[in-house]
Structure 1
Amino acid sequence: MISEHDDTTEDRRWKFYCCGFSNIILHSCELTGWTNSFDGNQYLNVPSGYVITGVISEHSNYYEDRRYKYNLCKVDKVCPTCTCPTCTCPKCTCPACPACATCPTSTTSSPPPQREPVIEIHD
């Protein structure tokens, strides 16, 4: 992601690069708190294994600035052959295996449902 500042409008225009992936699930999504204060530096450390799936901003006419929150989601691989270890199927080897939830004697909870990415940027 990159940004350019416009001195005339005293605002910033952002560009995000979006990617698509196969054989992954996004779960445990959370919205951060504000990552900056008005007229302050922005700090965001995306933990390993997480991705940014959305941005929310709030503009202040008083400060002529924005502050930001980010939606972060954990990324896990989905193995195409994973199944439940307590079934007659092969052993489940993925930490977030949807097939484990369909196993009749499974003791593994199903992963949280995938949420649509939240992208909301206000100019």
Structure 2
Amino acid sequence: MTSTLFRALLAVLVVGLLVGQSDAWRRRRRRRRCPNPTDALSGAQTAWDATFMFECPGAQVIRRIRSAHCNTVEDRVWRFECGTVPGVSRFDEAFWSAWLNEYNGVMNFQCPFNAIVTGFRSEHRGNDRKWKLKCSKVNGMTTFNHAQSNYANEFDLPGDYTVPSGYYLRGMHSFHDGRRGDRRYQYQICLIDLP
């Protein structure tokens, strides 16, 4: 009788511990999930831990870049905004760069041949991203007054960069911190002279 009672109590205790641990594990797991991308960044156009490609439509160029970070996947979601170039109804040439950085490596790129940025492609692996930029130009267009922005983000915090009025995005600089699992971004800008 005593051993049956002991077994029953032991079974209740084991089930209680298993269910309790299971609920606690589920609660911890739920807390560690990244929020929905559009909750983290209004209008986010990308997903966590995913490949993406963004191209401005028609003869538009990148005007604003926003991002939000999630420590769980050590990644950012992104939102890009485009705008027109006065006097340009179409680009004569557009091309994608090669991969601009290795994972955990430095990136420093400016569109060659007097071109400006009209798109991004990126892949995420581990806790970092590698990038390609789409560059576009009008025949006879030249870039000048090249400058570099301040950093647009701190590690693990949102980023927001608007290209100043009259300027155009021509490149990007970035470095990765493995301990923080994030990158900081700077943007290269320029003025343009149309033919």
Provide the TM-score with structure 1 as the length reference: 0.54
Gaps of 5+ in 1: 79-123
Higher strand share: 2
- Alignment counterpart, residue 175 of structure 2, candidates 22, 33, 58: 58
Note the C-alpha offset of 1:42.
1.7
- Alignment counterpart, residue 27 of structure 1, candidates 144, 169, 176: 144
Note the C-alpha offset of 1:15.
2.9
Relative contact order, higher structure (CA 8 A, sep 6+): 1
Alpha-carbon distance between aligned partners in 2 of 1:28 and 1:5, rounded to the nearest angstrom: 33
Aligned residue in 2 for 1:18: 135
Residue 3 (structure 1) aligned with residue 122 (structure 2): yes
Higher helix share: 2
Provide the TM-score with structure 2 as the length reference: 0.36
Q: How does 1:1-123 map to 2 (within 5 A)?
A: 1-6=120-125, 9-78=126-195
Note the C-alpha offset of 1:67.
0.3
**Residues 20-74 of structure 1 deviation map (CA, whole Å, 9 limit, x = unaligned):** 3223221111111101111112211012332222211111122011001111001
Q: Which amino acid aligns with 1:3?
A: S
Tell me if the contact between 2:167 and 2:191 (Cα under 8 Å) persists in the aligned partners. yes
Alpha-carbon distance between aligned partners in 2 of 1:60 and 1:11, rounded to the nearest angstrom: 9
List structure 1 runs of 4+ shifted beyond 6 angstroms.
none
